[in-house]
Each structure stands twice: as structure tokens, then as C-alpha cells.
Structure 1
């Protein structure tokens, strides 16, 4: 946040101007009975104060007071804007405070070198904090910042507690997905379960499946993740599917006929939550309690891959990046990438790994000295880091182009 400044001014007020001796002209009476207005006060003994001057003076005092009140309100009341600024970076191979950002127990890990920075955006305003109009104007004037109307980022009525809870949940989910993606990349087996979080009203599953059901099989196909569920439903071509779920400790089989969506895939009409069981413990994010959201997923996954690989992945080079990740290793777009590019450059990064779906915002906003490589999957990110660490050129890797 930037300190506000006060552009208000106070005017020196002088006393009434006294006329020179002998300069007391008799005010000329007007048709309405009032007197002409003079550029000074006091018309001499026995001379009445001009009525028009009194009315005008009162109007000026009232309007001046109103201007002061409105000006103070503009300065003191919070502006309905959000300012995004470049935030700090965190090396996923290093530590935050007294703790390593990635800790692995129950499996051998290896020394690393170089940096794999996750990047952040500092957000001022919105439900969590208030900003003044001067801070909003300062954001517009600063090329490193972006200013949005509050309602562009937050639904009306959203509270700061709701924002904090959502960001914390997204961070936890991204960490679990990062572990799953890293283990998938390294061919280390693990298990995952799909649990019905909610049943969509009017969907094929309504009245058949229940929130809390864990999907274990469709027909004879065991379900070990969202990809296997999607595949078996699409292979069925819309025919009735025998869904086996674990419900209240018992296995139950229900028949549901999937419905084809506008995109051509077959769906049951349920919202799913994924839980994982890994063969060893991976703890992520110690010392980063103030960082939330899902956008660090890819960099967490890269850090885990490096820690579980005998040879250092980076070759001692300085990488930064951003992007969501799912258990299958797909990299997704994020917000605030312009500020993250600046933050990475300020931290001394040589290379930046950007989600392919963010390329439209990357073009034209790359800081001098920073080379950007676009990636769509964790595998592409790993290959890019390995090639650059070995002395390859970023120009030979996928780029964000106009």
C-alpha cells in the first residue's frame, strides 16, 4: 500500500479592508429598498449594512462549508476500487522464516540449488482493506499497478472473512494438487477418491446420488480420479451407467443416465471433491500464512519434482512463474500476471514460466531482461527448466506471441 497524501489547502483569511479616511460614499438606494454592495465593510456611523451583501456572504459561507465537508468525505471515505501491485516472491526450494517451504518426510529427498520462485500480487482495497481516493489515483498513475472497481473482483456483500476463507481453501487445494501432479510426473503411485460434494438440481443424479457419496466404480471400471470417471462416461455414449458409491460405510450401486453437455461430454450432474492418499508426507507453505489462492500450484509442483530428483533441476539458474495445477498436471491461468512479471524481474529472475492461457496479458508487458516461456502442463514446465538449465535458449521454447 502507498501512503496517502493530503492535497487540501488552507487559505489565509485577512480582516476587513478599511477604507481610507473620507471615502464613505453614500450607498445608492436600489428599487427593492436595499443598498449597493461595496468592496469593503463598514459604511460609517449610522449607515446600514447592505442587505444583498449579507445574503451573498451567508451563501458563500454555506457553500464553502459544504465544499469542505464533501472534500473531507472524498478523502476519508474508502474508495470503491482495488489496486493490484507486484508482491513478494518465494523460492519454493528455500525457506520462509524458520521453515522450509517444501518439507518431505518418509521418502528420500535431494539437495537443490538455484531458485524456483512463486510470484504473488499485493491487493489493496476490497472487502479485506479500505483504500483512500488518493491511493486509487496513485494506482492509476503507477504503471506497475492495475486498478479495478471492487465489484469487478468481488461479488456484492462479500466479507473479508469470506475472502480469507476462500483464499485459504484454494491454497490448500492447490498444494494437494501440486503433490499429486508431481508424483504423477515422477511415476510415483498414489490413490485419490472422488466424493460427491453436491447434486445439481434437475440433473440426472438428483434423487439418486447423495452428497457424501464416494464414487468407487462405474460398471466394471474402478474410478481413481476425475479423468477415469470422465472417460468411462464418454465411452458409454449416454447409456445408463451403474455407479458404485461408498455411502455410510456400505457399497451401494445406483443407475444414472448421463446427460450430454453443450461441449459434447457426458455428465452426471454432480459436483465432486477430490481427496488424496500419498505414500509419504509432503508439507507445503510453512511461513507463507499470508499468501492465499491457487496460483502457486505449478511452482509448488516443480519444487517437489526438484526435491525428489537426484540432480538439481535448475542447474543453479533463477526461475520464476505462476499457474494453477490439477492432479493430472494441467496448468491453468491466473490473475495479476503483469504484476507477477514485474515482481519476478525485481527479484532477479532470469526466466518466467507463464500459463499459455495468460499469453494475451503477457505480450507487451515483459520487463527488460526477463525471458518468458509459455507452458500448458507440468511436463512442459519441467522440460523447459531442464533445457534452460543445460544452457538452451528460451527462443527455442514455446513463446507468448502477439
Structure 2
């Protein structure tokens, strides 16, 4: 359209020759232009900050189902349990120990987007980092601690299995470290505790009872250091619950009449204790404990067979069901954690001791209704 053909706009200011402003649109107010630019910049900044927040590291870890390992079976051609020095018997079915993948924490913090995915997933849990990795502890240190915990649980599982089967062995308490400097000059790391105030020490109950009886008086502690016996005098302080304390971390050492080798690597923590103990018992007794059925479970174990609670049980239930288990042995103290989270087709039975776990497995293997045993959820 030629310039002569344009309609007239009586309210507009005539343009100089060559001006390019479109016909009929007034020139914008400079203040509006500045406001528009500011709003656009703010919007872009908000988007950038929002996207950045999705990739920034967080102080959360995400737990998800891990693999299950048959304690009476093999992993990549290696037996999880190998026993020598005692007659063993064939087994069948499964006695799976269960695991949890833990992502994040320490030097491997997860971005918010990964944490958000964990919150949304029904099979994952998001928990604060410090509940898994205490502040000031590196990921490597936590891994080392988990490895030590697994080694300890393997020794305890052997001791618990032999206790249940009434096979004698020797147990000793040793000095593992110091909680305070109270008796650090009297004993050394590696000392074996033999007796106290004239009475032998077999386990922690013996030591606790003797310290309680002595009250605030010093005690005569008989130890073995580098193969030589000697007696030292230790003092005690009152604990929060009235018990007497000597400020020493103690560990267990055992001398078994047989050798158990564990063929599992890259798995840490103490939670496989009960299932290892059941696997050892199954191999040392005639007949298949499981009757060919598929069991899984979790729980720490003590020398006397006490089963303790663990973390990540909801994820372990999923991992067990994915592996084909039909029955799951859960520590009684974890029952409240599984309510509403039991996978379809999995019976969860609560146990407090190794003896109860054994009775449950043998009972179901013999045809008893799983519902006849105490249930978790």
C-alpha cells in the first residue's frame, strides 16, 4: 500500500520522512519498556535458579531394594558358606539374606532431582544423611565400618549357630578401644579378659554382673597380654542407667571347632547375621531345613541367638519378593516399619530369636500354615 493510500490518524504525531514505526501503533512509553525488560530478566533468573536447585547436592540419601543372596547357595560360582572340620549335609530351597542400595551421602551427595524421585517412588525411602553417615565421617570411613560390621556378624552368626546346635566353642572378650582415658593405662588394645574379682569372664553378662556387685569399688581384672597372664586394677563410673562402666570398648573373639568361610564380597553391615546363622545350621544338620521352599529374611544376631532390628526393611521386602521368596523372617522390633508396605504374595513372620526363626522355617517346610506363626503386618 502506498503512503498516499494510508488512512489518516488524526491523534498521531506526523512521522519524519523515512521513519519505520508501523502504522497505527503509538510509540511505547520508555518506562514500560524498562519494566518489561526487568520482568523478563527476573523470569529468566527464576528459571535458572529453579533448574540449578534441581542439580544442587543435598544432605539426603535414598534407600532402594538391593539383591538377595542365598546363604546356602552360590554367587557367580562361589559358595556363600563353606564349612570344613565338621560333617555337612545337602541343602535345598533358599535362605536369602537381603540388601539395600544406599545412594548419596558424604562425598557422593545426590542432587535434589534424584531425591525427588526417591520421595515419589513407593519402593524407595529418603532419609537424612546424618542417620547413615555421621557428620565428620567420610564415605570411605563409613564403608570400612560396614565391612568390619559384616565381619563381626559372620563371626557372631557362627557362634549363634553353634550355640543353638549345642556345639561347644571358646569365646573371649578383648579390648577393642577406649571410650575414655579412665583405664587406658591399665589395659591395652588386644588384651583378653579372663576373669574379674576371682570369677571367670565368659561373656558380657559375666562382666556386667561383677562390676555391678563391686559398685564404686575398684575391680581386679585378670587379662592375657601377648600370651602372658597378669592382673590389673580398674576403676568404674556410674552410667546413665546406673550400670558400672570401665570406659573400654570390647570385642568378641572366638575359637571354633570348625571353620566357616564366607564367600560374599562388596556387602557390608551386620544385618545378615540371622540368615547366615540359619544357613550354617542347615548345612550342619541332616535334611533340608527349608523343605525346598524359598525363605528370605534379615536381622542382626547375638551369641545367645537374640535377633536385632535393622534399617531398610521395606526395601528388603521388595528385594526378597523380586528374588522369588514366599516367606520373610523379620525382627520383631521392625514390625512397625512394614505396615502397609508388604509386597503381595509375601508372608512376613516376626521372630525374636534364632530358635524362633529355625522353628518357623522347619514348621512351614513341614506343611504348617504360615498364618499359624506370629505375623508382621
Q: What TM-score comes out, normalization by structure 2 length?
A: 0.86
Q: Distance in 1 between matches of 2:305 and 2:9?
A: 92
| Post-superposition offset of 1:103 | 1.1
The 5 Å alignment of 1:159-308 reads: 159-201=138-180, 203=182, 205=183, 207-234=185-212, 236=214, 240-286=218-264, 289-308=265-284
| Post-superposition offset of 1:279 | 2.0
* Candidates 36, 60, 64, aligned match of 1:81: 60
Q: 1:191 to 1:353 in 2, by over 3 A?
A: same
SS in 1 for 2:333: helix
Q: 1:26 to 1:361 in 2, by over 3 A?
A: farther
| Structure 1, gaps ≥5 residues long | 1-20, 30-40
Aligned to 2:105: 126
* Candidates 295, 303, 317, aligned match of 1:319: 295
Q: Distance in 2 between matches of 1:175 and 1:341?
A: 22
Q: Is the 8 A contact 1:199 1:209 kept in 2?
A: no
Stretch of structure 1 that moved more, 88-97 or 66-75? 66-75
Q: Is the 8 A contact 2:92 2:291 kept in 1?
A: yes
Aligned to 2:46: 67
Q: 1:294 to 1:149 in 2, by over 3 A?
A: same
Stretch of structure 1 that moved more, 94-103 or 224-233? 224-233
| Post-superposition offset of 1:247 | 2.7
Q: Distance in 1 between matches of 2:269 and 2:305?
A: 18
Q: 1:160 to 1:328 in 2, by over 3 A?
A: same
* Candidates 280, 284, 309, aligned match of 2:285: 309
Deviations 1:53-94 (A, max 9, x none): 442344244324423431331233233322111221111111
Matched, 1:369 2:348: no
Q: Distance in 2 between matches of 1:23 and 1:153?
A: 77
Q: Distance in 2 between matches of 1:216 and 1:326?
A: 20
Aligned to 1:35: none
Q: Distance in 2 between matches of 1:158 and 1:346?
A: 33
* Candidates 339, 348, 363, aligned match of 2:315: 339
| Post-superposition offset of 1:110 | 1.1
Aligned to 1:381: 357
Q: 1:23 to 1:248 in 2, by over 3 A?
A: farther
SS in 1 for 2:86: coil
Aligned to 2:376: 400
Q: 1:110 to 1:57 in 2, by over 3 A?
A: same
CA RMSD of aligned residues (A): 2.8
Q: Is the 8 A contact 2:307 2:352 kept in 1?
A: yes
Figure out how many residues of one structure are paired with residues of the other and give that number: 365
Q: Distance in 2 between matches of 1:24 and 1:214?
A: 109
Q: What TM-score comes out, normalization by structure 1 length?
A: 0.81
SS in 2 for 1:123: strand
Deviations 1:167-205 (A, max 9, x none): 1111111111111111111122222222212333375x4
Q: Is the 8 A contact 2:180 2:248 kept in 1?
A: no
Q: 1:284 to 1:66 in 2, by over 3 A?
A: same
Q: Distance in 2 between matches of 1:177 and 1:26?
A: 99
Deviations 1:214-272 (A, max 9, x none): 21122333323323333444455665432111234432212335445444544333211
Q: Distance in 1 between matches of 2:216 and 2:331?
A: 34
SS in 2 for 1:246: strand
Q: 1:187 to 1:237 in 2, by over 3 A?
A: farther
SS in 2 for 1:170: helix
Q: Is the 8 A contact 1:209 1:254 kept in 2?
A: yes
Q: Is the 8 A contact 2:192 2:225 kept in 1?
A: yes
